Amino acid sequence: MIRFEHVSKRYGESLILDDLNLEIATGEFTVLIGPSGCGKTTTLKTINRLIEPDKGKIFIDDQDISQIDKVKLRRSIGYVIQQIGLFPNMTVEQNISVVPKLLNYEKARCNKIVRELLALVDMPYEEYAHKYPSEMSGGQQQRIGVLRALAASPPIVLMDEPFGALDPMTRRILQDEVSKLQKKLNKTIVFVTHDMDEALNMADKIIFMNKGKIVQIAAPEEMLENPADDLIRSFMGKHSKDQEALPQTAADFMRSDIYSCYRNRGVREAIQQMARRKVDTLLVKNLDDTYAGTVSIKSIRNHGKDLKTIEPLITQENAVSYVDEDAQICFDKLLNGQDSYVVVLNHDGTIAGIVTKTSMAKSLADAVWGDSQ
């Protein structure tokens, strides 16, 4: 467990950390997030004493870290940074073995560790162990950066925006890999980011900071439900549930690009229109544009041969709904009735659109995952 007690840090006039109190439980994936300059990286670096606080104490497993030898402390804490920082003069194997060597592990043991770790991320030892960092892509380099931090099995790993410099796709893959590794190896990870997606994706607990203070500590789900203030809400962006009201009425689910014709049209014309648009029914309007009913290809085939207009074939059996009707009632009509769609009318009786199963699913998906654009 890592515990901060009244930790403050000042650079000249500006207060970077303002009386910070917090606890990070063992085995937990904790994400520090906030706008730049909020003190998240400073907080991280006080844990391995790259930055010493002016006031307050930090404890790891109830031991005051200011009493532990810096070098010894750091060898027991993994550290990953945004710029990756692989040593360019060392091979992959040498890079991963740095801390084990500092701890005087035997050569055979170091080699075993390297093989095991590379296997964890599916990088074959024979292919990668003797490469230099400059021979690998950014994503591969940062994988090695993460492995290097894990090499001496530290119980705590600090990560300072480790995926910030990677492209979105690689970032996603590495996020998943690190999540997996964390669960497998049960590490306490403290992770700094300014990307809410990343935080929500990885964290057990999110600590939101601003101006050197903690604004909110919560599990991702809880932070989504109840963001403590507007700043957090704006960080959540599209994830926030109350930012946009859930669709409620039939109008929210309908499609309005529909095909209709007037009731005095000829049968032949109606058939042509259906064929051109690849539909089997047409919505029919009265001459004043109000909804008259529907005509199906089936009824034309059965009775329409001798008719001049479609008028006698119009039926009003199709389910009808109004634009402001509760979406749930509209869904009931769609799901329980015989029809493949529900006609939605405006209050003046004109046609507003139709709700189909596809339009319903699409609108729901948009509401849950944000606009697909």
Partner 1 sequence: MTLDMIMSHLYLVLAAVALTIIIGVPLGILAYFYKSVRKIILWVVEVLQTMPALALLGIIMVFLGAGKATVVIGLLLYSLLPVVQNTYVGLSEVDPAIKEVAQGMGMTKLYRLWHVEMPIAFPLIFTGIRIAAVTSVGTAVFATFVGGGGLGSLIYRGIRVSNMTMIMSGTLALMVMAVGCDGIMSHIEKRLYRRFSPRKTI
Is the dihedral angle over the CA atoms 249, 253, 256, 260 positive or is it negative?
A: negative
**Beta-sheet pairing, 63-64 with 2-11:** unpaired
245 binds partner 1 (CB under 8 A): no
Which of 1, 15, 68, 73: binder of partner 1 (CB under 8 A)?
73
75 binds partner 1 (CB under 8 A): yes
Secondary structure of residue 46 in the 3-state scheme: helix
Please identify which residue in the block is written with the tokens 């070098």.
71
Nearest-approach distance from CB 150 to partner 1, in angstroms: 12
Secondary structure of residue 64 in the 3-state scheme: strand
DSSP-H helix ranges across 186-320? 196-202, 220-225, 230-236, 250-253, 267-277, 297-303
Nearest-approach distance from CB 7 to partner 1, in angstroms: 19
Total number of residues binding partner 1 (CB under 8 A)?
Answer: 26
Angle at 112 (CA atoms; ends 106, 118), nearest 5 degrees: 135
Please identify which residue in the block is written with the tokens 């032949």.
268
Nearest-approach distance from CB 144 to partner 1, in angstroms: 12
Helices 138-150, 107-120: axis angle to 10 degrees equals: 130
Give 15 or 68: the residue with its C-beta nearer to partner 1.
68
Which of 12, 88, 104, 126: binder of partner 1 (CB under 8 A)?
88
263 binds partner 1 (CB under 8 A): no
Query: What is the DSSP code string of 118-160?
Result: HHHTT--HHHHTT--GGGS-HHHHHHHHHHHHHTT--SEEEEE
Secondary element (H or E) of residue 211: none
Nearest-approach distance from CB 98 to partner 1, in angstroms: 6
Nearest-approach distance from CB 147 to partner 1, in angstroms: 13
Burial of 230 (0-12, 13-18, 19+ CB in 10 A): exposed
Task: Considering only the stretches 77-85, 114-122, 282-290, 306-314, report the one whose residues sit in contact with partner 1 under the rule CB under 8 A.
Answer: 77-85
Task: Considering only the stretches 27-35, 80-88, 187-195, 224-232, report the one whose residues sit in contact with partner 1 under the rule CB under 8 A.
Answer: 80-88
29 binds partner 1 (CB under 8 A): no
Give 74 or 205: the residue with its C-beta nearer to partner 1.
74
Q: Which residues of 287-325 are buried (b: 16+ CB within 10 A; e: fewer)?
A: eeeebbbbbbbebbeeebeeeebbbebbeeebbbbbbeb
Give 130 or 308: the residue with its C-beta nearer to partner 1.
130
98 binds partner 1 (CB under 8 A): yes
Nearest-approach distance from CB 81 to partner 1, in angstroms: 5
372 binds partner 1 (CB under 8 A): no
Give 81 or 192: the residue with its C-beta nearer to partner 1.
81
CA distance 303 to 43: 80
Nearest-approach distance from CB 213 to partner 1, in angstroms: 25
Is the dihedral angle over the CA atoms 361, 363, 367, 372 positive or is it negative?
A: positive
Paired tokens of 223: 């932070």
84 binds partner 1 (CB under 8 A): yes
Nearest partner of 220 among 364, 28, 366, 80, judged by Cα = 28
Nearest-approach distance from CB 103 to partner 1, in angstroms: 9
List beta partners, residue 3: 23, 59
274 binds partner 1 (CB under 8 A): no
Map residues 36-55 to x or -, x wherever contact with partner 1 holds by CB under 8 A: ---------x--x-x-----
Residues 113 to 172 in contact with partner 1, rule: CB under 8 A: 132, 134, 148-149, 158
Which of 102, 335, 361, 365: binder of partner 1 (CB under 8 A)?
102
71 binds partner 1 (CB under 8 A): yes
191 binds partner 1 (CB under 8 A): no
Contact set with partner 1 (CB under 8 A): 45, 48, 50, 71-76, 79, 81-85, 87-89, 98-99, 102, 132, 134, 148-149, 158
